[in-house]
Amino acid sequence: MRPRAPSDTVDTADDTSAEARRQLLILALALVLAMSPWFSTSAVAGQLSVAWDLSAAALAWLVIAVQLGFVAGAFIITLTGLADRFGPRRLVLAGALLAATANGLLIVASGYGPGLVARFATGAALAAVYPPALKAMSSWYRTGRGLALGVMIGALTIGSALPHLINGLGGLHWKGTLAIASGITVVGGLIAEFVAGDGPFGSAPARISLGHVRAVATNRRFLLASTGYFGHMWELYAMWAWIAAFFQESLSARAASFAAFAAIGIGAAGSVHVGRLSDAVSRPRAAGLALRWSGLTAVFIGFLVDAPWFVVVPLALFWGFWVVADSAQFSTIVTEVVEPRVMGTALTLQLSLGFILTVFTIFLVPLVRDAAGWGVAFGMLAPGPALGALAMARLDRVGPPASGAAPVQVSPNSGSGFAGR
């Protein structure tokens, strides 16, 4: 048994209390603001391509650099155990300050090479924002954790879409858009550290060894949840990265920015919906539903690029609703099947491996589009959610976790899966 943390003395606290809901809103707001640098270059891709004379492949690498930076930062956090050795809100603040600085360096970068370095550093810093924010929220929720994490992923979604809104509203020079994104990132980190608080279901800081990492990596339920996550990630970030370019085929630049913001941002509603469903039914079943709908949409939406806006925009909104709706459930399952003291490490490990996959599809989509069109480019994303849906079906049939691990929520009527804690 692990030693009780000071907060463990109130483990009987009601995680549906007004204070828990208030803290969820605070942390969600912090995440919305702190994650805004992620797609800041995608939002100003048109201006950047002119200013730096960039090809489609070069623009793709500005997005990929963030993904690779996130992976590098996440691996460092995993191997050093930083996510479980320091308070999560303190890590969010540190990551936000570093991400804002790195994103700001892009403004003064002399060209493409330094810009890639700045984007890589931005991603590495955001690895100290996203997983720790999920861990901080988990300290406030237990029985309602699926919905709460859905709200957090919804916040991540809106934060990722914010640069498109900033660019569409202001018609700013690309440097102005990046400067605003950096400024609100700092605000998000400050809110996490100085406005939010620690919940009753957290764990005391712990020293994490490579043995702990190996134990997490061989946990069967962790592996199944991660397989679902990997299929999800094969699709998600490529859709987010290139949906604005897709809209630019048939809409004006400003209308494309608003449409991209809506198509990405509507995923917040999807995340909340699937989070609520996962608490009521089953996390694997809820995630599987989202995977099936998003994968099906990916199969054919690209072939409708020349369709009227009143056809393609609603369909893209439908895709955006489901494409990220399952994201929180993979993290939620991890928080419920590993020991609390290694939760931060487990989350960071899952996320880092998933983000490696995004590099391939973000790079391939514009190349396949140029060679075969949007239909094939977006269609190649569909096998990911198909594999993820199979993993979720398998996870729903697996029995409860071994004694000592926190169980995963399961349908009370299914007779299979996990029993809620």
The angle at the Cα of 233, spanning 377 to 283, to the nearest 5 degrees, equals 130
Candidates 124, 184, 139, 136; CA nearest to 160 is 184
Please give the span between the terminal C-alpha atoms of the chain, in angstroms, as a whole number. Answer: 17
Which class is domain 19-397? mainly alpha
| Cβ contacts of 184 within 8 Å, gap of 6 or more | 33, 36, 162
- Reply yes or no on whether the pLDDT at 411 is more than 60: no
Cα separation, 151 vs 137, whole angstroms: 10
Taking every pair of Cα atoms in the chain, the longest distance, rounded to a whole number of angstroms, is 61
Crossing angle for the helix pair 267-280 and 309-323, to the nearest 10 degrees: 40
Q: Where would I find the beta strands (DSSP E) of 98-193?
A: none
Region 94-110: what's the mean pLDDT? 92
| Confidence grade of residue 421 (pLDDT, cut at 50, 70, 90) | very low
Region 52-74: what's the mean pLDDT? 89
Region 27-34: what's the mean pLDDT? 95
The angle at the Cα of 306, spanning 303 to 312, to the nearest 5 degrees, equals 75
Q: Check residue 166 and give its pLDDT.
A: 82
Candidates 30, 127, 119, 123; CA nearest to 80 is 127
Q: Check residue 415 and give its pLDDT.
A: 33
| Confidence grade of residue 342 (pLDDT, cut at 50, 70, 90) | confident
CB 152 within 8 Å of CB 328: yes
Alpha-helix residue ranges (DSSP H) falling in 248-342: 253-265, 267-280, 283-300, 309-323, 327-337
Helix (H, G, I), strand (E, B) or coil at 410: coil
CB 258 within 8 Å of CB 166: no
Top-confidence residue, 337 or 122:
122
Top-confidence residue, 39 or 385:
385
- Reply yes or no on whether the pLDDT at 5 is more than 70: no
Region 171-191: what's the mean pLDDT? 90
What amino acid is encoded at 47 in this protein?
Answer: Q
CB 6 within 8 Å of CB 157: no
Residue-wise pLDDT tens digits, 10-19: 344 455 588 9
Q: Where are the domains of the chain?
A: 19-397
Top-confidence residue, 191 or 331:
191
Residue-wise pLDDT tens digits, 38-49: 888 887 887 888
Residue-wise pLDDT tens digits, 183-210: 999 999 999 999 999 888 866 555 555 6
Region 335-343: what's the mean pLDDT? 76
Residue 354's H or E segment, with its range, is helix 343-372
Burial readout 290-307 (b: 16 or more C-beta within 10 A, e: otherwise) = bbbbbbbbbbebbebbee
The string of DSSP codes covering 52-87 is: TT--HHHHHHHHHHHHHHHHHHHHHHHHHTHHHHS-
- Reply yes or no on whether the pLDDT at 55 is more than 50: yes
